[in-house]
Amino acid sequence: SILMQRRLFLYNFRNLRKAKGRRETYLCYVVKRRDSATSCSLDFGYLRNQMGCHVEVLFLRYISAWDLDPGRCYRITWFTSWSPCYDCAQHIASFLRSYPNLTLRIFMARLYFCEDRKAEPEGLRRLHKAGAQIAIMTFKDFFYCWNTFVANREQTFRGWEGLHENSVHLARKLRRILLPLYEVDDLQDAFKILGL
């Protein structure tokens, strides 16, 4: 099916601060071609990671096969259950450099951090520097996904307890990650001076 089952969406996209047991990454996407002031939807759907291949890489392979017209502008929007790992962020950044006529917006339900490497924040910074617009999903984004990618049987999306608070918490965390490093050092120094 082109639409995700409700239980899959609700389980995998729930923006919990600690999402134990959620090992799969789901990626909902919309691809549009921009023609002057208007845009034309070309495709939408969802993917999940497959054995040995992360979902971001699967999508990049999928879109690379399209043979995009370099004379046209494209916009891709992703809604992902996890932010990209360091390696995927590198692949995406490289892809964006190869396609200057393409813009990518990534809305993430949760931030992924591999405990043993701690490289993911750097990957997100590089991805942002490569031109990707990255943000944490808010109620509006979950609502949009529910109505666009989920077989919801015409049921209205009802947010879960803590959705807004978790979105705000994760957005602040992402904002700190994306701050230029000299600003982070300035903030750390300010906190030390204040005794925090």
Tens digits of per-residue pLDDT, 34-56?
877 778 888 999 999 998 899 99
> Distance between CA 77 and CA 80 in Å, rounded?
10
Q: Which segments within 8-166 are labelled E, that is strand?
A: 26-35, 38-48, 73-80, 102-108, 133-136, 150-151
Q: Tell whether the model's pLDDT for residue 7 goes beyond 60.
A: yes
The pLDDT tens digits of the residues spanning 87-138 come to 999 999 999 999 999 999 999 999 987 655 568 889 999 999 999 999 999 9
Question: Do 157 and 142 meet the contact criterion of CB atoms below 8 Å apart?
Answer: yes
Question: Do 60 and 71 meet the contact criterion of CB atoms below 8 Å apart?
Answer: no
Looking at residue 40, what is its pLDDT? Answer: 85
Would you say domain 6-194 falls under CATH 3.40.50.720? no
User: How does strand 102-108 pair with strand 73-80?
Assistant: parallel
**Burial per residue of 4-13, b for 16 or more beta-carbon CB atoms within 10 angstroms, e otherwise:** beeebbbebb
Q: Model confidence at 2, in pLDDT bands (50, 70, 90)?
A: confident
> Distance between CA 100 and CA 97 in Å, rounded?
6
Average pLDDT over residues 145-153: 95
Question: Do 84 and 130 meet the contact criterion of CB atoms below 8 Å apart?
Answer: no
Burial class (CB in 10 A: 0-12, 13-18, 19+), 18: exposed
**Burial per residue of 67-100, b for 16 or more beta-carbon CB atoms within 10 angstroms, e otherwise:** ebeeeebbbbbbbbbbbbbbbbbbbbbebbeeee
> Distance between CA 68 and CA 65 in Å, rounded?
8
Active site residues: 56
Looking at residue 114, what is its pLDDT? Answer: 61
Q: What ranges do the domains of the chain cover?
A: 6-194
> Distance between CA 51 and CA 53 in Å, rounded?
6
Beta bridge partners of 39: 34
Looking at residue 115, what is its pLDDT? Answer: 56
Q: Tell whether the model's pLDDT for residue 18 goes beyond 90.
A: no
Looking at residue 108, what is its pLDDT? Answer: 97
Looking at residue 23, what is its pLDDT? Answer: 85
Looking at residue 124, what is its pLDDT? Answer: 94
